[in-house]
Amino acid sequence: MENTYLAIDIGASSGRHIVGWREKGEVRTKEIYRFPNGIQETNGCLLWDTEALLREVKTGIRMAKAEFPGIRSLSIDTWGVDYVLLREDREVWPVYAYRDSRTEAVIPQVHEKIPFAELYRRTGCQFQPFNTIYQLYADKLDGRLDGASDFLMIPEYLLWKLCGVKAKEYTNATTTGLVNAGTGEFDREIVEILGYPQRLFLTLCRPGTVLGEYEGIRCILCATHDTASAVEGIPMQENAPYISSGTWSLLGVKTPAPLTDRNSEAANYSNEGGVGYHRYQKNIMGMWLVNRLQQELCPDKPFGEIVKMAQESSCDLLVDANAPAFLAPESMKAAFDRAADGGPRPAGTETFQKMGGFL
């Protein structure tokens, strides 16, 4: 089959390779390969195994080529905010996951240099304790930025490993808290104030940029933030609100320009990049809670059976799914047990609340 294309979509719990093509004026798709993903705990730190991710990406490409030898191009999207530091072409290990608590101590230091109100006015990026702007400050204090020549967001890193070309993509960059909402480029003044090496912040590329080739397949930048790609794929007849659901759920609407007023800041809405528009949206806890509970309580039970059991049972417990207590507890079951008992919430809750009151 001619004119087939490969989309590689990687989330925090799984990844998938999907081949798409047009047939009689409609887009057809077929899932070729699916693999598990997840945060690894090592020496008390929460990390991504990017080497394993790259192996899975290559495995899926190989399987897709076997069934569809005429694939013209491929691209990769993932979650936002996380990245791989590089010293020339060498990775700076480890690769931290956004749920790691390393930013707790540095957030007040960042806000002391630039108050969050000013950050929001300039970038329109919502407060989250794991935003790249805070992760990089933790790296700076730990000396990980010394000699660093680049940082690539996860999909940029995987594409570089495939085709050998480094590029920074706009939609994913807007999750960092470092992109100026007006210019659509990295905010050099924020970078200077925080003391980050200017060399790390290159000109941003837009979706559709051709990077190179991997085994005869063109590698192209899509909207590499998964929510940006999801929203771009919604066949909207009008500008209706959308909900993109995954580990996180995102509720939002397309806007022609960012909204960085005080009301937006107070509501903690984010302005993130789209393909010719902005995404004005809010993070809502998604399948993270369910996935963690399933892994802890019944890892071998399929979700269809879990849903059936839930339909046949009852529970009158109400919890705030967005509460910091559920962000990265050691045990999700224990977090729910504490909420059910009305007792102390998991350690770290108060710390997250003190990070600015935006959670």
Catalytic residue among 77, 139, 150, 226: 226
Would you call 142 a catalytic residue per the annotation?
no
8 Å CB contact between 250 and 243: yes
d(CA 125, CA 120): 6
> Cα separations (Å) of 227 from 39, 102, 163, 230, 283?
20, 25, 24, 5, 11
Q: Is cis: bond before 94, omega within 30 of 0?
A: yes
Can you tell me the distance from the alpha carbon of 335 to that of 347, in angstroms, rounded to the nearest whole number? 10
Helix (H, G, I), strand (E, B) or coil at 294: helix
* The pair of three-digit structure tokens given for residue 186, joined into one six-digit string: 């990295």
Neighbouring residues of 351: CB distance < 8 A, sequence distance ≥ 6: 104
What is the phi/psi pair of residue 243, to 5°? Answer: -130, 120
- For residue 157, what are its two tokens? 């890193």
Query: Alpha-carbon distance 97 to 318, whole Å?
Result: 29
Hey, which residues are catalytic here?
226
